[in-house]
């Protein structure tokens, strides 16, 4: 399904160098492509990144842009895939946190699934936002000012741009649907 409104629009997928939950990267990526958008893999270092299928190594993916050279204004949306190690590493990268902060100040959507909201907490952009995540992050996200709920997908519009969050890979159909709707 191609949506002319996404044709040629870039969507940033920000990841660390390893620990990305593969399906949480590939399913939204595929949805953006099928809707006519251009997914762009942004990471903290050049080369390739290592995805995982839960705790087992999966595929590697080539980085398109290093976050130090990425401008949030070039992208229609930001997707933050989960995996435990991925957002834990991202939140220690000053460049990645700054990129997220700049993106959060815009009116464009941010979509984060599973453990990915840890990066949003580090960027200090969750105050007053309603959201969900993997359940073990609930206390961290509440401490960061979020109203955490246990739902398949939450679309919060209490900030400059929509914040789309989901809990886990089983929520991917609702997550990708909400992302595409926000981009339409």
Using DSSP's 3-state secondary structure scheme, residue 130 falls into: strand
Task: Count the Cβ atoms, other than its own, within 10 Å of residue 161.
Answer: 18
Contact 142, 148 (CB under 8 A): yes
**Closest by CA position to 116, among listed 160, 152, 162, 83:** 83
Cα 50 to Cα 86: distance, rounded to the nearest angstrom: 10
Distance separating alpha carbons of residues 33 and 3, to the nearest angstrom: 10
Length of the chain: 184
Note the helical H segments in the chain.
22-34, 85-90, 94-104, 117-122, 138-143, 172-183
Query: Any idea which residues carry the catalytic annotation?
Result: 114
């Amino acid at each position: 399904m191609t949506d002319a409104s996404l044709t040629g629009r870039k969507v940033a997928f920000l990841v660390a160098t390893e620990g990305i939950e593969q399906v949480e990267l590939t399913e939204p990526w595929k949805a953006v492509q099928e809707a006519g958008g251009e997914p762009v893999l942004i990471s903290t270092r050049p080369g390739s990144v290592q995805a995982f299928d839960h705790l087992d190594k999966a595929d590697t993916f080539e980085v398109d842009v290093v976050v130090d050279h990425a401008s949030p204004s070039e992208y229609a949306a930001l997707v933050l895939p989960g995996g435990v190690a991925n957002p834990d590493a991202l939140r220690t990268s000053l460049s990645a946190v700054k990129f997220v902060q700049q993106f959060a100040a815009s009116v464009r959507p941010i979509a984060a699934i599973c453990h990915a909201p840890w990066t949003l907490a580090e960027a200090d952009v969750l105050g007053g936002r309603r959201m969900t995540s993997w359940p073990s992050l609930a206390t961290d996200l509440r401490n960061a000012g979020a109203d955490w709920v246990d739902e398949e997908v939450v679309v919060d519009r209490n900030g400059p741009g929509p914040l789309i969050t989901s809990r886990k890979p089983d929520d991917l159909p609702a997550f990708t649907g909400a992302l595409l709707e926000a981009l339409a």
